[in-house]
Copies of this chain bind each other. A is one copy, B any other.
Amino acid sequence: MISRLLNPSSVAVVGAANDRGKLRGKLLALLIQAGFEGAVYPVNPGANEIQGLPAYPDLTAVPGPVDLVLIAVPGGQVPTVLDQAVQIGAGAAVIFSSGVPDISGYADRIRIMGPNTEGFYCPESRLAATFAQVVEHSLERDEAPPAAPRPLTIISQSGGLGFALYGRALAENLDVRSVITTGNEGDLECLDFVEHCVDQASPAVILLFIEGLKTPARLAEVAAKARAAGSSIVALKVGRSEAGQRAALSHTAHLAGADTAYDASFERAGVIRVHDLEESLAVAAALSRLPASPGQRVAIVTTSGGAGAWAADLCSAAGLEIPPLTEALQAEILPLIPSYGAAGNPVDVTAAAVEDGGKSLVQVVERLVASDEVDGVLVNMGLAAKGRVAALRPVLEPLLRASRKPIVFHSHILPSRENLTALAQAGSHGFSTLRAAALGLAALAKDGERLRRAPVVARSADRRPMIAAADGVLGEAETGNLLRAYDLPFPQSILAADADQCVAAAARIGGPVAMKIQSVDLPHKTEAGGVFLGVTAEDVRSTFERIIANARAYAPDARIEGVLVQQMARPGREVAVGMVRDPDFGPLVMLGAGGVYIEVLKDVVFAPAPIDRAEAMRLIMSLKTVPILKGVRGAPPGDLEALAELISRVGDLALCEAAIEQIDLNPVVVYPAGEGVMAVDALVSGKSSGAEPRH
């Protein structure tokens, strides 16, 4: 159905008008101007002819079959038009109107883009179903940007921003195949168009601008399909900041959603998230025109020493490495550059290198990509002089076409369009700023890493749940049983109803124990004076009496189940591990720094379940405080393998135990390598719980 929308044989424009200065006139005018080759039927009861075409009073009066109906009438009239569209067998409609009543009931009869959309534009099929001014500008351009290996599709919920991005992308010489804006998504949502784009024969790069997804749960599947088809998705999602979320909420019906859940889901799905315009266009350009990179190591080749140092700073800031080159590789390069150049990386080939037509510069780049010391090359040179790239092209293009590592260009001097176009034709991309070049290369490295990364495999998804239903916070004993059932290391603990049972339990466990009040009415045990640690055998009995007395004094009506006698964990380095069930994306497993650092440093990472060992290890390595876990100042390395296993099992538990809403293991003590980990304290809660997560 979407192909009847995007590739129709005939189009009716309901509400078409003569005045091209107004939206309804512009719509028809652009449709005609773009050169759509099928039948076009203006529909308007007030005219017999509009913009030179015969007009019809309503859809039923149109003489031929209609694939697509463009609707630009007041919102209240839209259902009548849709009824007629269904009646004449139209496959799809684009509703530009706002203030439209609920149209979800039409979805099984006709597929709808909008309402409140700016429509779409496909230069290739010469179909402009939009009133966006930028389309007129693009039609007036002399020549289209050079074709890219993976052309760009822009899909945006915001019409204004979708077409603004299109104009910006054209200015950057990007090969844009279509711009699609989905508006309020009364029927079709942006993921439908992503899927449609991926289903087309050839690989593409999809730049997505969203405030939130209508059906977040579909993201993983659609993204996997994209990956299988060789396409990449770049997402610009607003609502990262609190103020941005407030704005997104007030602006659209979409729930902005927990931004961290989107972050985690994008990461898992292989979607590259971007944040500003320069980054968006840089990443789109790089992915569109260049091969994914085998790694993070970049060689910088520059005709200006100052620009080389600056490039190194910005590549480092983008997370890339600029390794010093080996002496062997430098020895290959030095004969190609003047004596006052430098071969260390940055490689300063000096301005002289382009004066010979650039042959030596190309030879230097050739040596670099042939080596196994770098994964990509950034060339900085002036791209303002007329014919500069054209002169280089005979030697440059074979190198670019053969290279499986990205080779990108930047010009510190404002580059000319002629040179940028020539670079694109030769198979590279010229970036206008060093930050853009660095972010583009970093995205190619990330895309490469994601393509190589094995898909996460779930291990025990069909296990039978232990907890059928959970009302609020689980008792400590129940919690212990649950965790141990999933092989999560948890201190041995025994629920004791009286002082004698406490003494017996302590004896069985051995050594000093922890003693904790157990009551559903006392979620904050410590405040109630209900927790004692390191209790030795001779103090167990008196401690029991003390706990009960404290609890009675704190909350006389609390129902007390007993006192939990628990093995004391040895001290060690601490982290927090948890799980929250996101309403949109399902269970997200959390890993955070220990103690107060999780909140002070916001040192916390999330990933959707399931989580295998590799993915758990990736989470661990992405903590800011991971050096502590690895061991600093002579401390032995922590048992990261055991921690990864624990994280992975929390994911298994979350998938099997649908009744569990939230898990908070804090602290999890990490012992030296080989000695395991221990979840010392745990808070597990079910659906109806109002409990706040503890830190």
Contacts and interface: CB of A to CB of B under 8 A. Distances in A.
Interface string A312-324: 1111110000101
A160 B345 contact: no
A680 B244 CA distance: 46
Contacts of A250: 305, 342, 344, 346, 348
Contact of A241 (B209, B241, B322): B322
A660 B481 CA distance: 62
Interface in A344-368: 344-346, 348, 351
A239 interface: yes
Contact of A240 (B244, B277, B306, B313): B313
A384 interface: yes
Contacts of A384: 133-134, 167
Contacts of A434: 276-277
Interface in A66-98: 98
B695 A633 contact: yes
Contacts of A452: none
Chain B CB within 10 Å — which of A300, A340, A601 has the most? A601
Contacts of A158: 304-307
Contacts of A276: 314, 433-435
A596 interface: yes
Interface string A137-168: 00000000000000000001110110110011
A275 B414 CA distance: 18
Contact of A309 (B251, B275, B313, B599): B251
A307 B133 contact: no
Interface in A236-253: 236, 238-248, 250-252
Nearest to A276: B435
A469 interface: no
B312 A243 contact: yes
Interface of A: 98, 133-134, 156-158, 160-161, 163-164, 167-168, 171, 209, 211, 236, 238-248, 250-252, 275-278, 300, 303-310, 312-317, 322, 324, 340, 342, 344-346, 348, 351, 382, 384-385, 412-414, 433-435, 596-597, 599-601, 624-625, 627-628, 632-633, 695
25 contacts: A133-B385, A134-B413, A156-B306, A157-B306, A160-B351, A168-B414, A211-B309, A239-B309, A239-B313, A241-B316, A243-B300, A243-B315, A243-B345, A244-B316, A247-B305, A247-B348, A248-B309, A250-B346, A251-B308, A251-B348, A252-B305, A275-B313, A275-B314, A277-B434, A596-B633
